[in-house]
Each structure stands twice: as structure tokens, then as C-alpha cells.
Amino acid sequence: MARMHTRKRGKSGSIRIESKQRPSWIQYSDDEIKEMIIKMRKQGMTKSMIGIKLRDQYAIPGTRPVLHMKLGQVLKDNNLESDVPEDLQALIERYKRAMKHLSLNKHDMNNKRKAQLIMSKMLRLIRYYKRTSRLPQDWSLERVLQ
């Protein structure tokens, strides 16, 4: 599939093979893993950061084959899910950095165009998340950008 705002193709990547059974080398119980996830979330880590830390530091390849539920479901069950989805939050932070740069460098036309592309991606994601009820219908981007 092609990228959204360029004419280039996407990079191919390997696909992780998900097994239905729990790997034999995991030495943590399900409750310990859930406690680790909750503790990391309360420290302010995002879902992807938690998944990377579980993989690299604790040798847990994924929560689905181990806990038989996704990491987001564990957070949702414990009322620790964020209000704004992680990919939208990352785009909002990128847009804020681009606008801060533009306020200091008014003639940077490349950055101005990049900010416009980031905004269009955010608006597309917001429409999708409102349609799928991940965001409330009255959610507005202006409140977040201020």
C-alpha cells in the first residue's frame, strides 16, 4: 500500500507469527504480568512503550498469547485507557512542534506544508475514531491544541 502523502511505496516488514499457546520460557504468572502493565501505565507509559518494555526487558513476546487478551483490554478493564488514542496523540504532539517551529521561523515553507499534511492526517483519524465511537461525537481538536 502506498503512503498517504507521497508517491512512494511503504516498507515491507516481517509479520510476527502469533501462536495460540503460551511460550514455555515465560516465568511470570498472568497476575504478575497484569500488575506490571498497570504499574507501567500509571508511570505514564503508552501502550506501545509498555509492549516494547515487556518484550525487551521481561521476555514477554506479546500479551495476547500469554493473557489471551490484548494489552488495551487489560488497561480498559482497569480504567487506565487514555481518552485520546495513541496515534492521534502522537500526531497532535508533532503538529504542536511544527507550529512552534513555524512561529520562530515564519518563512519555512517546507515545514508549513508538513504541518498542513499532519493536520489532514489528524482530521482523517478524528473522523474515523468518531465513526467507530472511539471518540465522542462532540470531541473537538481545538481544545487539545490549546
Does the model's pTM come out above 0.95? Answer: no
- The dihedral through the CA atoms of 15, 124, 76, 145 has a sign that is positive
Tell me the per-residue pLDDT of 80-116, one tens digit each, with 9 for 90 and over. Answer: 988 899 999 999 999 999 999 999 999 999 999 999 9
Between CA 36 and CA 28 the distance in angstroms is 10
Q: With beta carbons less than 8 A apart as the criterion, state whether 125 and 87 touch.
A: yes
pLDDT of residue 96: 95
Mean per-residue pLDDT for 18-45? 90
Query: Cell numbers 504499574 label which residue?
Result: 39
* Confidence at residue 8, expressed as pLDDT on a 0 to 100 scale: 75
Decide: 41 and 50 in contact? Cβ < 8 Å.
yes
- Burial grade of 70 (CB within 10 A; 0-12, 13-18, 19 or more): middle
Q: Which residue has the higher pLDDT, 24 or 123?
A: 123
